[in-house]
Structure 1
């Protein structure tokens, strides 16, 4: 009898511990630009173009196309299952630190990536450690934390497809992009 009560109490405690306690508001969403078309020309070939109210983005002035140090790579490669920056990439990091410090409005996104081996969570954590290692190196060289952001993509955005060791080595990286 006591074992059943203890088991029931344990199950109730586990279920209560799994609840989030977050209330989801059921607020209806209204689409102010939605129009209903009954019959007629609907679909991809209707020929009607509607203004969405969304501003376009000039990709030439943002993301990976933004200016960086001339003639300097934007990729730091890592060994398998490691987030230690190799000595051969120290000059690359120093060049980027000089470039960032020369302009206070410059922002750097550091993206950590891994190869395809390992689970999703493990690779996201390893990618974050790689991005943070580069961020810490830049911070030690005087770059302000407010100018840098480190994110991980794990194995989700490979630079090279394939299972060869060369392809995997090219995917173990941290990419630097200016915003």
Structure 2
């Protein structure tokens, strides 16, 4: 190794070591005491949860169903027209489910619902490059819904556009 290469390597090691060192007088990081109670998550009502769902940007599904209801096809066509009108626009199809069923079942049905919406958008002429898919199942639900109305609003594929 040349003298210049050796100096460069030594300097790099010294810089990295300095970055990793604790400064004198700097207190060590403290762990929170385990005796403190966990703060409870804020309670969200069914009505508050339902109000966060944009009706026009979601395709809703019946319980245990992956087929798009004929009443929801109008909204799907509107979304397809929006995408066809702007070829640079990309949408992420996000599949959600209610809190009933196992986590693996909910993830699987969310993926199937996203696939159903994806296929229908493709049939309406929307190019693949404008469609991204993501299934979250029930993991993104703030808490379990207590009413059938709330659960019905969670069984959906959401159209998420960039800001």
TM-score past 0.5 threshold? yes
Contact 1:160 1:170 in 2 (8 A): no
Contact 2:99 2:144 in 1 (8 A): no
CA distance in 2, matches of 1:159, 1:173: 15
CA positional deviation for 1:121:
1.1
Counterparts in 2 of 1:31 and 1:141: CA distance versus 1, 3 Å: farther
2:155 is aligned with 1:169: no
CA distance in 2, matches of 1:135, 1:102: 17
Deviates more, 1:143-152 or 1:153-162: 153-162
Counterparts in 2 of 1:75 and 1:35: CA distance versus 1, 3 Å: farther
Q: Which has the higher helix share?
A: 2
Contact 2:114 2:134 in 1 (8 A): yes
Contact 1:100 1:107 in 2 (8 A): yes
1:80 match: 63
Contact 2:107 2:136 in 1 (8 A): yes
Contact 2:94 2:134 in 1 (8 A): yes
CA distance in 2, matches of 1:31, 1:124: 45
3-state secondary structure, aligned to 1:166: helix
CA positional deviation for 1:164:
1.6
1:115 match: 98
- How many residues are paired up? 124
CA distance in 2, matches of 1:78, 1:128: 13
Q: Which runs of 5+ in 2 are unaligned?
A: 1-15, 31-53
Given the alignment, which residue of 8, 19, 26 partners 1:40?
26
Q: TM-score, normalised by structure 1?
A: 0.61
CA positional deviation for 1:40:
3.0
CA positional deviation for 1:89:
1.1
1:9-28 matches, within 5 Å, as none
Q: Which runs of 5+ in 1 are unaligned?
A: 1-29, 45-70
1:91 match: 74
Q: TM-score, normalised by structure 2?
A: 0.67
